[in-house]
Structure 1
Amino acid sequence: MYTIAHISDVHLGPLPRLSPKELFSKRITGFFNWHRNRRKHLGKDTLENLLLAIADENPDHLAITGDLVNLATTKEIDIAADWLKSVGPAHEVSLVPGNHDAYVGGAYAKIARAWGDYMQGDDHEGAHLGKMTFPYLRRRGPIAIIGCSSAIPSPPFLAIGSFEAKQARKTAELLRQAGEEGLFRILMIHHPPVRNAAPRHKRLLGIRRFRATIATGGCELVLHGHTHLNTVNFIETRKGKTPVIGIAAAGQGANGKKPPSGFNLISVSGRSGSYEMQCRRHALSAASGLIEPESEFSFSYTKDR
Structure 2
Amino acid sequence: MFVIAHLSDPHLGPIPEARLSELLGKRFFGMMNWIGARRRNFGAATLTPLMDDLMAHAPDHVCVTGDLVNVSLPAEFDTGAAFLTSLGPADKVTVVPGNHDAYVRSAMHYHLEHWAPFLAGDDSHPHTPVDVDAFPFVRRRGSVAIVGVSTAVPTAVFLAGGHVGRSQRARLADLLRRLGEEGLFRAVMIHHPPVGARAFHRDLRDAEAVREVIGSAGAELVMHGHDHRASLGTIASATGDIPVVGVPSASAGPDDERGAGRYNLYRVTGGPGAWRCEMETRGYAPGEAGVRARERRPILG
1:231–1:128: structure 2 CA closer, same or farther, 3 Å change rule?
farther
Query: Where does 1:278-289 land on structure 2 (aligned, <5 Å)?
Result: 278-289=278-289
In the alignment of these two chains, the number of paired residues is 300
Mapped to 1, the partners of 2:44 and 2:141 lie a distance apart of: 34
Other structure's SS at 1:145 match: strand
Which residue is 2:165 aligned to? 164
Note if contact 2:188-2:222 (Cα within 8 Å) is conserved in structure 1: yes
1:151 correspondence with 2:152: yes
Shift of residue 69, structure 1, vs aligned partner: 0.2
Other structure's SS at 1:204 match: coil
Which residue is 1:59 aligned to? 59
Greater displacement, 126-135 / 99-108: 126-135
Counterpart amino acid of residue 137 in structure 1: V
Give TM-score scaled by structure 1 length.
0.95
Which residue is 2:262 aligned to? 262
1:192 correspondence with 2:190: no
1:18 correspondence with 2:18: yes
Mapped to 2, the partners of 1:130 and 1:244 lie a distance apart of: 27
1:298 correspondence with 2:283: no
1:93 correspondence with 2:93: yes
Mapped to 2, the partners of 1:124 and 1:176 lie a distance apart of: 20
Q: Which runs of 5+ in 1 are unaligned?
A: none
1:174 correspondence with 2:175: yes
1:128–1:100: structure 2 CA closer, same or farther, 3 Å change rule?
farther
1:113 correspondence with 2:113: yes
Shift of residue 79, structure 1, vs aligned partner: 1.6
Note if contact 1:189-1:224 (Cα within 8 Å) is conserved in structure 2: yes
User: 1:116-171 deviations in whole A, cap 9, x for unaligned?
Assistant: 01011101248962511110001111111100000111000010000211011111
Q: Percent identical across equivalent pairs?
A: 38
Which residue is 2:271 aligned to? 271
Note if contact 1:5-1:61 (Cα within 8 Å) is conserved in structure 2: yes
Shift of residue 286, structure 1, vs aligned partner: 4.1
Shift of residue 24, structure 1, vs aligned partner: 1.3
Shift of residue 201, structure 1, vs aligned partner: 0.9
Cα RMSD of the aligned pairs, angstroms, is: 1.5
Note if contact 1:111-1:130 (Cα within 8 Å) is conserved in structure 2: no
Note if contact 2:151-2:162 (Cα within 8 Å) is conserved in structure 1: yes
Shift of residue 106, structure 1, vs aligned partner: 2.8
Note if contact 2:139-2:147 (Cα within 8 Å) is conserved in structure 1: yes
User: 1:51-93 deviations in whole A, cap 9, x for unaligned?
Assistant: 1110121110100000000001101111211222122111000
Mapped to 1, the partners of 2:180 and 2:129 lie a distance apart of: 30
Which residue is 1:138 aligned to? 139
Mapped to 2, the partners of 1:127 and 1:66 lie a distance apart of: 24
Mapped to 2, the partners of 1:29 and 1:9 lie a distance apart of: 18
Other structure's SS at 2:158 match: coil
Note if contact 2:254-2:288 (Cα within 8 Å) is conserved in structure 1: no
Counterpart amino acid of residue 117 in structure 1: P
Give TM-score scaled by structure 2 length.
0.96
Shift of residue 195, structure 1, vs aligned partner: 3.6
Note if contact 1:95-1:147 (Cα within 8 Å) is conserved in structure 2: yes
